[in-house]
Structure 1
Amino acid sequence: MAPRPHWWHVLQASKNEVRLAVDLYNRSGDARQLEAFIVHMSMGWLKLLQAHFERSGGDVYIRDQRGRRIRHEDGDWKYKSLSALMAEFFQPNDPRKVNLDFFVGLRNRIEHRHEKNIAALVAGRTQAYLLNYESTLVELFGEDEAVASELRFPLFLSSITEDAAEAVKKVRSQVPRGVLEWVQDFDTGLEPDLAADQRFDFRIYLIPYKGAKTEADAVMTFVRPEDLTEEQNAVMDQVRTIIREKQVPVSDLGTLRPVQVVEKVAAAISRPFTLHHHTQAWRYFEVRPSSGAQDPAKTKADFCRYNHAFERYVYTESWVTYLIRKLSDSDTYDSVMAWRA
């Protein structure tokens, strides 16, 4: 029997890193689980791309100007970083790359005593991190190499019966300000479609199933929206409506008109801030489309929402906080006010 190629061993090492990442994340207790998950998932992604490049004839080494491989002081070859391989493999706006970029940046900002709350804040992105690995693994190496059948859905205790909005507020209030601001800045740089992509931030509704059990039942079933029947879609719309009543302000309740945003920001910064300046700001940070846009509701929902009934935009307290933080910096203020389409 012929020996396995080197790339195959690298691939197995990649899968082992991911298995370990999931085991560490799902273990009981709260000892650095998120950081451990990110570290080992990053190693899993690095080795996955190395295996792909090796098998397909790509180059995984760092080279000098003459094209020769470079060695470390200990004699080992220098390999390209995860970021370098990502840049070669993914298109710039691939949601999988953006998700990876998010965790590369987040790892350096984790404060360990708040890690549990940070993990809750980014749970959807954490799930996407793993699902993206699995889908890319299968895409490159086939179903026989998949790890999904080896990973188990964890048993958990959760505040699943509490009001969802209050639970989210509690988590956010306990996350360090620096981490929240970094996540906010990262999200502000994303196009709305990209921010809403499940490959960047995986979001699901958990609905208890109360019907009679059948042999085909599974603990959890994932269904694509496009595969639902009209009747099932109607039920999902009903569920979204119920959840929106709990999580999203009804009509303009709790949101601000532009003039109210101006008043709050102007009182908090040392530079002038008028309605014209506010217009400059929402254009510069791209929080909503311009007037007359084909889809006026395509906003960055953390900051701005479109009210269809009154055909106007309203803004959030998060937008006010963001503007105060950003415009308190003189260079940012000057850039915003000098911006032209």
Structure 2
Amino acid sequence: MKPKQRIRTVGSVSNELLKKSREAALAAVQVFNNPAITFKSEIFVVMMVISWTYLLHAHFRKQGIEYRYFKVAGTRKRFDKTSKGAFKYWELERCLNDQASPVDKAAANNLRFLVGLRHEIEHQMTNRLDEHLSARFQACCLNYNDLIKRLFGDEFGIDKHLSFSLQFSAINTDQWEALHDAEGLPPNIRAFINAFDSALTEAEFNDPRFAYRVLFVPKTANRKGQADKVIEFIKADSDLAKDVNKHYAVVKETEKAKYLPKQVVEKMQASGYPRFTMHNHTQLWKELDAKNTSKGWGVSVVKTWYWYQPWLEIVASHCAANAAAYS
């Protein structure tokens, strides 16, 4: 093949990959913003993983980097193929692991989370993922739009095709807490999220490229005839941001404190019930079916059970009601 012909082939394949990548990303966002679809998070994750994979394939193709699996036999490459004879291309994780990957660490953390989440939801139906993980989904979209424009030009961005999704009700603090505490996440999803987040540093967890969290403040126009902005983005170090933090209650998600069974028993003994033992604690949680995840009293993380603060209060009430036995 002549050099010019090869350049045209590389360009055409790269453009086709970009086209599919953008279509997958747009489809993911459109599905997520569709109020009639209840399986939106799962579809979003799968489609965005495909979108990012094609984007990185297009980049590698453009740079002349081999992104097919192969083995070296002597001086020749023997490419791995499927049972039907098709080449095996790198999956997203392999793309991110390559030293030529253009994805920065924070955005890569976001994608590794989505890939891990996809592995979990492949095997079990889920619900209520939307409100728990929307900040990470938002970061994924912003990271994608930023990278595709940086690698291929502003004309390939998808921001011009998207708009903010409208909703029919405002969200106050009580409503947000009700959403946040709503049960429905399967134990395996909870365990995966906790394990993944625990492996991140505080700076990595708080990086907006990993999870994009915003504060919503009602905004009205200053003069009649002006168009209102429902959402206004402001810099974190601006005077307005400092003023908002000073005068408004900010809804901030924090990690729940977790306690091992041994710690629960030790706290009860330190509170004046020295005869309350691990055996008593085990009998109590079994009697109350306390490890039923629908009750929200604890969580299993990598095969280890942790108790939340509400369970400690229940145990404390039990000890107080049976003070004669435990004092």
- Alignment TM-score > 0.5, same fold: yes
Q: Does 2:95 match 1:85?
A: yes
Aligned length: 269
* Contact 1:72/1:78 (8 A) holds in 2: yes
Mapping 1:268-283, distance limit 5 Å: none
Mapping 1:134-213, distance limit 5 Å: 134-158=145-169, 160-163=171-174, 166-171=177-182, 173-211=183-221, 212=223
Taking a change above 3 Å as real, the CA distance of residues 213 and 120 of structure 1, as seen in their structure-2 partners, is farther
Corresponding residue to 1:236 among 223, 239, 244? 244
Q: Does 2:84 match 1:74?
A: yes
Look up the SS of the partner of 1:68 in the other structure: strand
The corresponding residue for 1:109 is 120
Look up the SS of the partner of 2:189 in the other structure: helix
Taking a change above 3 Å as real, the CA distance of residues 125 and 257 of structure 1, as seen in their structure-2 partners, is closer
Q: Does 2:45 match 1:61?
A: no
Corresponding residue to 2:55 among 29, 41, 48? 48
Structure 1 vs Structure 2 CA RMSD? 3.7
Which amino acid in structure 1 is aligned with residue 50 of structure 2? M
In structure 1, what is the Cα distance between the partners aligned to 2:124 and 2:301? 28
The structure having more radius of gyration, on CA atoms, is 2
The corresponding residue for 1:310 is none
The corresponding residue for 1:28 is 35
Cα deviation, residue 157, structure 1: 3.2
Cα deviation, residue 319, structure 1: 12
Cα deviation, residue 75, structure 1: 2.3
TM-score (norm 2): 0.70
Which amino acid in structure 2 is aligned with residue 205 of structure 1? L
* Contact 2:220/2:229 (8 A) holds in 1: no
The corresponding residue for 2:144 is 133
Mapping 1:178-327, distance limit 5 Å: 178-211=188-221, 212=223, 218-226=229-237, 228=238, 230=239, 232-239=240-247, 242-243=249-250, 263=266, 326=304
Corresponding residue to 1:11 among 9, 12, 18? 18
In structure 1, what is the Cα distance between the partners aligned to 2:39 and 2:264? 39
Q: Does 2:105 match 1:94?
A: yes
Gaps of 5+ in 1: 271-317, 329-341
Corresponding residue to 1:124 among 123, 135, 138? 135
In structure 2, what is the Cα distance between the partners aligned to 1:268 and 1:142? 65
Cα deviation, residue 118, structure 1: 1.5
* Contact 1:10/1:50 (8 A) holds in 2: yes
* Contact 2:71/2:79 (8 A) holds in 1: yes
* Contact 1:269/1:327 (8 A) holds in 2: no
Taking a change above 3 Å as real, the CA distance of residues 243 and 224 of structure 1, as seen in their structure-2 partners, is closer
Look up the SS of the partner of 1:64 in the other structure: strand
In structure 1, what is the Cα distance between the partners aligned to 2:114 and 2:302? 26
Which amino acid in structure 1 is aligned with residue 31 of structure 2? L
Taking a change above 3 Å as real, the CA distance of residues 257 and 44 of structure 1, as seen in their structure-2 partners, is closer
In structure 2, what is the Cα distance between the partners aligned to 1:325 and 1:221? 43
Taking a change above 3 Å as real, the CA distance of residues 162 and 327 of structure 1, as seen in their structure-2 partners, is closer
Taking a change above 3 Å as real, the CA distance of residues 13 and 248 of structure 1, as seen in their structure-2 partners, is closer
TM-score (norm 1): 0.67
Which sits farther off after the overlay, 205-214 or 10-19?
A: 205-214
In structure 1, what is the Cα distance between the partners aligned to 2:103 and 2:12? 31
